[in-house]
Amino acid sequence: MKTAKELFKDKRFSIGAAVLFVVAVLVILSFFSPYDPVEWRVALRDMPPSWEHILGTSSMGQDVFWQITFALRNSLAVALLAGIISRVIAVAVGLITGYSGGVVDRVLMFINDGFLVIPIFLLLVLMAMLVREHMNIASMALFFGILGWPWDARLIRSQILSLREREFTNTAILSGTPTSKLIFNEYFPFITPIVIATFISYTAWVVGMEITLSLIGLTDLSIPTLGSMLKWAIDYQAILLGFWWWLFPPIIISIALFIALYLLSVSISIYLDPRARIQRVGIR
Residue 131 maps to a domain: yes
Better pLDDT: 183 or 32: 32
Q: What is the pLDDT of residue 67?
A: 95
Q: In angstroms, rounded to a whole number, what is the distance separating the alpha carbons of residues 96 and 200?
A: 23
Q: In angstroms, rounded to a whole number, what is the distance separating the alpha carbons of residues 208 and 230?
A: 12
Residue 254 maps to a domain: no
Q: What is the pLDDT of residue 119?
A: 80
Confidence at 104, pLDDT banded by 50, 70, 90: confident
Better pLDDT: 257 or 3: 257
DSSP 60: T
Long-range contacts, 212-215 (Cβ 8 Å, 24+): 212/121, 213/124, 213/125, 213/128, 213/135, 213/140
CA 31 to chain CA centroid, nearest Å: 22
Of 112, 277, 91, nearest to 202 by C-alpha is 91
H helices of the chain, in order, are 2-8, 11-29, 64-100, 102-117, 120-130, 137-147, 150-164, 167-174, 179-182, 188-215, 226-235, 238-241, 244-272, 274-283
DSSP 134: G
Residue 115 maps to a domain: yes
Length of the chain: 284
Tally of structural domains, the chain? 1
Question: Coil, strand, or helix at residue 42?
Answer: coil
Better pLDDT: 70 or 9: 70
Residue 152 maps to a domain: yes
Residue 97 maps to a domain: yes
Q: What is the pLDDT of residue 3?
A: 53
Residue 192 maps to a domain: yes
Residue 157, number of CB atoms within 10 A of its CB: 23
Domain that holds residue 170: 79-222+266-279
pLDDT in tens, 151-178: 888 888 888 888 887 887 777 777 777 7
- Whether residue 273 is predicted with pLDDT greater than 80 in this model: the reply is no
Residue 20 maps to a domain: no
Residue 167 maps to a domain: yes
Share of the chain above pLDDT 70, in %: 93
Confidence at 226, pLDDT banded by 50, 70, 90: very high
Confidence at 271, pLDDT banded by 50, 70, 90: confident
When pLDDT is averaged across residues 206-225 and rounded to a whole number, the result is: 90
State pTM to two decimals.
Answer: 0.86
Confidence at 118, pLDDT banded by 50, 70, 90: confident
Inter-residue contact 260 to 103 (CB < 8 Å): no
Q: What is the pLDDT of residue 279?
A: 53
